[in-house]
């Protein structure tokens, strides 16, 4: 089992979405920002309470979740 000690989920925080260490920073926000071209260093500057390991673990969590279930994609 993969351990994600920096990722939390609480029903009353951000609608129960996966967040970083109980903050209101969601895994989805981090993935979206990285996907849009924002670097981890820029994220750290924008959110000084985050640590690099928070960002890396959020990305690992998202990858793990993507592998966990099958999603039907359109044929190429």
Domain count along the chain: 1
Residue 55's closest CA among 39, 45, 40? Answer: 40
DSSP output for 9-75: --TTSGGG--EETTSS-BHHHHHHHHHTT--HHHHHHH-TT--HHHHHHHHHHHHHHHHHS------
Any idea what the CATH number is for the domain that residue 63 is in?
Answer: 1.10.10.10
15 lies in some domain: yes
Residue 2 has pLDDT above 80, yes or no: no
In a domain, 34, yes or no: yes
User: Is residue 57 situated within a structural domain?
Assistant: yes
Residues 6+ apart with CB under 8 A from 55: 30, 34, 40, 43, 44
Quote the pTM value.
Answer: 0.84
Give tens-digit pLDDT for 50-72.
999 999 999 999 999 888 766 66
């Amino acid at each position: 089992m993969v351990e994600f000690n920096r990722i939390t989920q609480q029903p009353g925080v951000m609608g129960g979405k996966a967040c970083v260490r109980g903050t209101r920073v969601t895994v989805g926000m981090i993935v979206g920002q990285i996907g849009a071209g924002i670097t981890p260093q820029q994220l750290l500057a924008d959110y000084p309470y985050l640590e690099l390991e928070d960002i890396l673990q959020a990305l690992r969590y998202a990858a793990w979740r993507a592998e966990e279930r099958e999603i039907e994609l359109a044929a190429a």
